[in-house]
Amino acid sequence: MKNKHYSRKKRQLGRLIANLKLKINTPGTSLVTIHRLKLRIKFLLSELSGYVSKHQLNRLLGGFAIVFGFATTANTQVFDTPVLNPFGLTTSPDVYLQFPEMADLDNDGDMDLLVGAYAYGFAAGFTYYENIGSPEVPSFATPVLNPFGLTGNTLINFPALVDLDNDGDLDLLSGEYYGTMSYYENTGTASEPSFEAPSSMPFGLSATYSLAIPTFADIDNDGDMDLLVAEQYANMQYFENIGTAEAPSFEAPQQNPFGLSTGYGISAPEFGDFDNDGDQDIVVGAYYGNLEYYLNTGTDSTPNFFGPATNPFGLTQTYEFAFPSSADLDGDGDLDLLVCETYGTFQYFENVDPTTSIDEIAIQGGISPNPFTDVVNFDLEVLNVEFLNLAGQVVLSVENPGVSLDVGALPQGSYIVKCRHKNQQLSSTKLQKL
């Protein structure tokens, strides 16, 4: 197929997708009309296959790739049947709800777990589960209440760990019952955290309408961490960071931006690149235990979310409520999900997608050495490279890095390194910095 022919068919596909979106949002549209549009789109996809990259097709299709089951990308995730309370995790009978946050708190290369809670009649504080296993085979130690100087003396705590001052260690922002947020600065080190007494509503933040369930990502790709906070009645409040990586400053919130929609009751958002296309998607834990997926059909700097799709990728409904945290818990280079449900039970959804095997993808776009110290080298031409921590947060993004890149400023630890190559294909590799 000549270039001008498939360019015309790409434009035709875009028009059909826009028409399909209009039809499904128009009351009274017949199922026959929708079905015929879907058939025409599938026919065009078959014609374009092999001439247009899967990344480009995924951009054109947007959320329809998930909602209507069009298998156009090799990056679709597959989650296994959930496992209850895995890896030695335990649940206290006094706890009604738990709110998990996974991160490498002791900088030993594996994912630890910090949990906020809502208990019966008392302030439950923060519970820390140290991972004493390995990056590939986690095993959590006996939980410790309020370690590292944490207090957690409010009725409810929704923790979010992030390096907000860009000093190489993880700080804590905790959402609270009345919509306020408290910031615990880590004045220790990446390996030995020590948290200062909390400061309420720093950096220009404002309270949400009861409850505040925060999650961080550099959603506009400007090098600092932005904040999305769910509130009571399931609205999302977006706080853009207009400061710097070292000195955050948050704009007044925008409600349900970028195509996000209001849920029901309580929603718990979690950022992550779940389709491995280089931008941040969102999984939202919903009031009745469903997991709702918003596909980012925009770019890594201009998000636009399509959805939600309920329980995609083999995910299943939990037993009332769903509070998710994502991280690479088994060391295979993709994001797994740990979800807490009513009565504090943990459900572990392992990402078993065979297409994201680190060993296979590393061959396609080699990065060396591994482990590395100050410099990494690229075997193929790279348009963009991102270094993500094991919680899926982008800690470094560089355009056109050349054949080698100085990364000496990165702290020691494990990283998932994602590259977009000249042919628009993605590769993903797990690297260790010494």
Provide the pLDDT for residue 13.
Answer: 82
Provide the pLDDT for residue 62.
Answer: 63
Give 79's strand partners. Answer: 351
Q: For residue 158, give the nearest of 213, 108, 88, 202 by alpha carbon.
A: 213
- Unique residue bearing structure tokens 């998930």: 66
Provide the pLDDT for residue 69.
Answer: 47
- Unique residue bearing structure tokens 């000195």: 247
Burial group, residue 391, by CB count within 10 angstroms (0-12, 13-18, 19+):
buried
Q: How far apart are CA 239 and CA 403, in angstroms?
A: 36
User: Cβ(205)–Cβ(181) under 8 Å?
Assistant: yes
Count H helices and E strands in the chain, helices first. 5, 27
Q: Assess whether the previous peptide bond of 308 is cis (omega < 30° from 0).
A: yes
CA dihedral 391, 228, 78, 291 (to 10 degrees): 130
Token pair recorded at residue 153 = 């003396």
Q: How far apart are CA 183 and CA 173, in angstroms?
A: 5
Token pair recorded at residue 424 = 């628009």
Q: How far apart are CA 44 and CA 56, in angstroms?
A: 14
- pTM recorded for the entire structure: 0.76
pLDDT values of the chain reduced to their tens digit, one per residue, 434 residues: 445 566 777 888 888 888 887 877 677 777 677 767 777 777 777 667 666 666 666 666 665 655 444 443 435 578 999 999 999 998 888 889 999 999 999 999 899 999 999 987 777 899 999 999 998 999 999 999 999 999 887 889 999 999 999 998 999 999 999 999 999 999 999 999 999 999 999 999 999 999 999 999 999 989 899 999 999 999 999 999 999 999 999 999 999 999 898 888 899 999 998 877 778 999 999 999 999 998 887 877 889 887 788 888 889 999 989 999 999 999 888 899 999 999 999 999 999 864 433 333 333 457 889 889 999 998 778 888 888 887 777 888 898 898 899 999 898 888 888 887 765 566 777 788 88
Provide the pLDDT for residue 76.
Answer: 56
End-to-end alpha-carbon separation of the chain, Å?
49
Q: Cα 102 vs. chain centroid, distance in angstroms?
A: 11
Token pair recorded at residue 97 = 């709800």
Q: For residue 9, give the nearest of 55, 53, 40, 44 by alpha carbon.
A: 44
Q: How far apart are CA 431 and CA 386, in angstroms?
A: 12
Chain length of the chain: 434
User: Cβ(71)–Cβ(45) under 8 Å?
Assistant: no
Provide the pLDDT for residue 368.
Answer: 86
The torsion angles phi and psi of 361, rounded to 5 degrees, stand at -75, -30
User: Cβ(173)–Cβ(182) under 8 Å?
Assistant: yes
